[in-house]
Each structure stands twice: as structure tokens, then as C-alpha cells.
């Protein structure tokens, strides 16, 4: 009998030949994403990994699998999905915008991520770039333009912490950070980085290092020049945009590696 993946608790055959996965962080978002597509079906749930199977308009099978927050749990999801035959991975998340002019609700289409997190160093040396596959970037940008979804395209940054590593002042120790993290948001902003999130650095490094195709999009749910914490009233709407973009971009993604 084919082995069951230790964390995802599925056998490869459960994916019914799917070769593409959408990866939200939040298990609570998985069913919602699957239900925007055809034939949504619950697959399995263990720890932070909730999995559903669905189909795009054009009948492409898609696994929706949550990664949990941050690098370590995301690395397990990518590893085990790859062992089950997944070749295309799209992170669909949320992000904190750090360029002052970008409005919350804007979708960030990542061309790459600054690897400020630690997990990706287990997959490739730090000099190796965390870049999105060009076919993902192409189909995401084309689809966002066609659907008139407000978006920006560029580099994001992935942090291991939501508070200290993203220069938040509203933390337990009121903005105190170790020397290495001082001025991080300012520095990233000056370098033209669009936003902070916590998973793309790992996912894009791991997919590239494995010869797989990775992409990443995230809904901007706060502009850090205006607020510290996300604005709950815009989260549902912002997520709806990023989910619509993900579901539609899949059908214009070229089939197979190129």
C-alpha cells in the first residue's frame, strides 16, 4: 500500500491526479477557497493542515491545503504535497503593506521575497534567491489586469515574527527589538519592498530548489504607515479579491514546466 504522508495524513491517490496546489495559511480559509471552484470536496484535516479538492472552470483539479503560519509548517506542506505529485504551488495569503501610497485591499503579486525568515536556509543557502516562477507571475498579472483587480507587482519580505520582525510597536515589550532587527521596516521600505508576510520566502525558495513552480499573492490588509494592526472590516473583501485572482489565474497558467 502507498505510504500515508505523516503530517497531511493522505496518500497520493487521494489527490486524484491533481498537480496544482493553492496554499493559504489559515485552515479556516480552505473550504471558502474550494467552494469558489467546481466540485469542492473535503479531503483530510490534521493539525494546521486542512485539505480540500476542487476543480477550476476548465476542469483542472486543484488541491487547497493550509500551511499554518510561517516557514516550518509551510515547508512540511510543500514537501509532502510534492511527494504526492504536486508540481505547481500558489501561496494565497494576506500581507502588511509598507509602501505609504498603497491602499489596503490591493493585491500584492510577488516576483520574489526577501528571505528574512530562517526555514528556507534548510532548503538552499541564503544567497539563493526566493523567486516566483515566471509562468505564475505572467498568468497572475494578466488575470489581475483582465479582471481589473487592484494590484501591485514586486518583491515582498518574509519574516519569522509578526511583531518584532515586522517592526511593530504594539508588542508586549512596546516595540523593543534585538539590534539585528532595528529599523527593519524602514530599510525594507527604502529598498522598495512592498509588504511583509511570513511564508512566501520559504515557499518560493523550496519550489525553485525542488525544480517545481511556485507563485505567491497576498491581499494587503493593512498599510503600516496608517495602522499597526489589520483592519478587520476590510479583511473579507480583500481576501475575496485574492481568492478570485488565484482561481482564475490557474486556468491561464501554462501546463507543465517551461
Binding region for ligand URA (CB under 6 A): 94-96, 162, 166, 196-198, 221-222, 230
The one catalytic residue in 91, 115, 168, 213 is: 168
CA distances from 58 to 13, 54, 114 (A): 22, 11, 34
Our CB check for ligand URA shows the closer of 73 and 94 to be: 94
7 is catalytic: yes
Query: Cβ-closest residue to ligand URA?
Result: 96
List 48, 80, 199, 239, catalytic entry: 80
Say whether 224 is catalytic.
Answer: yes
Q: Which is nearer to ligand URA, 40 or 220 (CB)?
A: 220
> Would you say 89 or 196 has its CB closer to ligand URA?
196
What is the smallest separation between the CB atom of 39 and ligand URA, expressed in angstroms? 30
Minimum separation from the CB atom of position 218 to ligand URA (A)? 7
User: In angstroms, what is the minimal distance from the CB of 26 to ligand URA?
Assistant: 10
**Given the complex with ligand URA, which of 60 and 91 has the nearer CB atom?**
91
**Residue 232: burial class (beta carbons within 10 Å; 0-12, 13-18, 19+):** exposed
**What is the nearest approach in angstroms of ligand URA to the Cβ of residue 234?**
12
- In order, the DSSP letters of the chain are -PPPPTTT---GGGGTT--EEEE-S-GGGHHHHHHTSEEEEEEEEETTEEEEEEE-TT--EEEEE---SSHHHHHHHHHHHHHTT--EEEEEEEEEE-STTPPTTPEEEEEEEEE-SSGGGGTS-TTS-EE--HHHHHHHHHHHHHTT--EEEEEEEE-S-SSGGGT-SSSTTTT---GGGTTHHHHHHHTT--EEESSHHHHHHHHHHTT-EEEEEEEEEEETTT-SS--HHHHHHHHHHHHHHHHHHHHTSPSS--
Q: What's the min distance (Å) between Cβ of 124 and ligand URA?
A: 22
CA-CA distance, 95 to 16, in Å (whole number)?
32
* Residue with smaller CB distance to ligand URA, 24 or 40: 24
The minimum distance between CB 180 and ligand URA, in angstroms, equals 18
**Which is closer to ligand URA, CB of 217 or CB of 221?**
221
Q: Alpha-carbon dihedral of residues 206, 44, 7, 79, nearest 10 degrees?
A: -20
Active site residues: 7, 80, 168, 224
Amino acid at each position: 500500500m502507498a505510504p500515508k504522508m505523516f503530517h497531511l495524513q493522505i496518500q497520493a491517490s487521494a489527490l486524484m491526479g491533481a498537480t496544482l496546489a493553492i496554499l493559504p495559511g489559515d485552515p479556516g480559509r480552505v473550504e471558502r477557497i474550494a467552494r469558489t471552484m467546481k466540485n469542492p470536496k473535503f479531503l483530510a484535516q490534521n493539525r494546521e493542515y486542512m485539505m480540500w479538492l476542487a476543480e477550476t472552470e476548465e476542469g483542472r483539479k486543484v488541491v487547497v491545503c493550509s500551511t499554518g503560519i510561517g516557514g516550518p509548517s509551510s515547508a512540511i506542506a510543500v514537501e509532502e504535497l510534492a511527494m504526492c505529485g504536486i508540481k505547481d504551488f500558489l501561496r494565497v495569503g494576506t500581507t502588511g503593506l509598507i509602501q505609504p501610497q498603497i491602499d489596503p485591499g490591493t493585491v500584492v503579486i510577488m516576483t520574489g521575497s526577501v528571505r528574512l525568515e530562517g526555514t528556507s536556509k534548510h532548503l538552499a543557502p541564503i544567497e539563493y534567491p526566493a523567486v516566483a516562477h515566471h509562468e505564475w507571475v505572467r498568468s497572475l498579472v494578466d488575470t489581475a489586469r483582465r479582471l481589473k483587480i487592484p494590484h501591485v507587482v514586486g518583491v515582498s519580505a518574509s519574516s519569522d515574527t509578526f511583531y518584532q520582525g515586522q517592526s511593530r510597536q504594539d508588542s508586549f515589550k512596546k516595540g523593543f527589538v534585538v539590534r539585528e532587527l532595528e529599523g527593519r521596516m524602514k530599510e525594507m521600505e527604502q529598498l522598495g519592498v512592498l509588504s511583509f508576510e511570513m511564508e512566501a520566502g520559504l515557499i518560493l525558495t523550496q519550489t525553485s530548489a525542488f525544480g517545481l513552480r511556485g507563485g505567491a499573492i497576498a491581499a494587503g490588509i493593512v498599510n503600516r504607515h496608517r495602522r499597526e494592526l489589520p483592519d478587520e472590516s476590510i479583511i473579507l473583501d480583500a481576501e475575496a479579491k485574492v481568492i478570485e485572482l488565484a482561481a482564475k489565474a490557474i486556468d491561464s497558467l501554462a501546463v507543465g514546466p517551461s
